[in-house]
Amino acid sequence: MNFADRQTWENYDKDKQVTRRAEVIRGLIPSDTGNILDAGCGSGIVTHLLCQDFPVTAIDISETALEYLQCPHQVASVTSIPYPDASFDLVNSNEVLEHLSDDDLKTAIAEFKRCAKRYILISVPHQEQLQRLLVLCANCNTQQHPYGHLQSFTQQRMEQLLEPDFYLKRYLVFGRSQRDYNPLLLNFRQRFLGQWYTPDEDYRCISCGSAEFKTRQNPLTKAVNGINLLTMRQRPYWMFTLFVRKGSKT
């Protein structure tokens, strides 16, 4: 995804999934919350809903995305939040952490802890199987995740990232269903049968800019996909976690 491209944000919620997620996030925010930092706000779909009930400040690395904001905001990264310690009752991070490297993830979590007086609310994909969504460029053979995801999260991993300063108060999985792929079948389908994930039509290779990707289908790939369909269960796509600072009144 090109976060500097205006088209990215104009089409960002075309299926209204972000709007559905925003409503869930609003329902998880404690009623005694004062001000909120929306860290990595994008074009502000979630932010604008929260602004109806709370004073909200927003940050994002994309100047283009921030042009859509109607609340106080500035260009900044979640790895370097430009506000003093304990500036906000709640820090909200919605679909941000999965895009970060290991080092940036640790730094961002530390920044959330520093800025949050009482609560941290995080939304990420739920146990995403990153390999299942890999695409393979037909021009330069670069493997890549079409949405730029680098991290996968479970409830346990999220708790480990936030401890010892915060404890988990609410946990919720929600949204459209996704089905994992048996790892052995997935490796066989990708490596030997040449079928990889099909990206959106406007996606371009991060290495060479090509729009051609290997998405081969034949009777054998269909058979493998059918076996996986029968053997792997579905689960919700999103995970929401509300953390509370230890020792704070709730």
Q: Tell me the domains of the chain and their CATH numbers.
A: 6-245 (3.40.50.150)
And the tokens for 15? Answer: 């299926």
Higher local confidence (pLDDT), 249 or 148: 148
SS3 content of the chain, % helix, strand, coil (to 5): 30, 25, 45
Beta-sheet strands, E only, within the chain: 36-39, 56-60, 73-75, 88-94, 116-125, 135-136, 143-144, 166-179, 234-245
Residue 79 has pLDDT above 90, yes or no: yes
pLDDT (tens digit per residue) in 191-234: 999 999 999 888 999 999 999 999 888 999 999 999 999 999 89
- Is the confidence at residue 151, as pLDDT, over 60? yes
pLDDT exceeds 80 at position 250: no
pLDDT digits (tens, 9 = 90+) for 111-129: 999 999 999 999 999 999 9
Mean pLDDT of 92-105: 97
Q: Is the pLDDT of residue 161 over 60?
A: yes
DSSP string of 115-183, one letter each residue: HEEEEEEEEEEBS--GGGG-EEBTTT--EE-TT-----B-HHHHHHHHTTTEEEEEEEEEEEEEE---H
The answer to whether the CB of 213 falls within 8 A of the CB of 195 is no
**Residue 57: pLDDT above 90?**
yes
Q: Taking 90 as the threshold, does the pLDDT of residue 18 lie above it?
A: no
Return the pLDDT at 7.
58
Return the pLDDT at 13.
53
pTM for the full model? 0.91
196 contacts: CB under 8 Å, gap ≥ 6: 134, 135, 136, 190, 213, 214, 215
- Residue 249: the pLDDT is 72
Paired tokens of 132? 């299942």
Mean pLDDT of the chain: 92
Spatial distance between the Cα atoms of 178 and 170, rounded to a whole number of angstroms: 22
C-alpha to C-alpha distance for 154 and 125, rounded to whole angstroms = 9
pLDDT at 21: 86
Q: Which residue has the higher pLDDT, 17 or 125?
A: 125
Q: Does the structure show a pLDDT above 90 at 176?
A: no
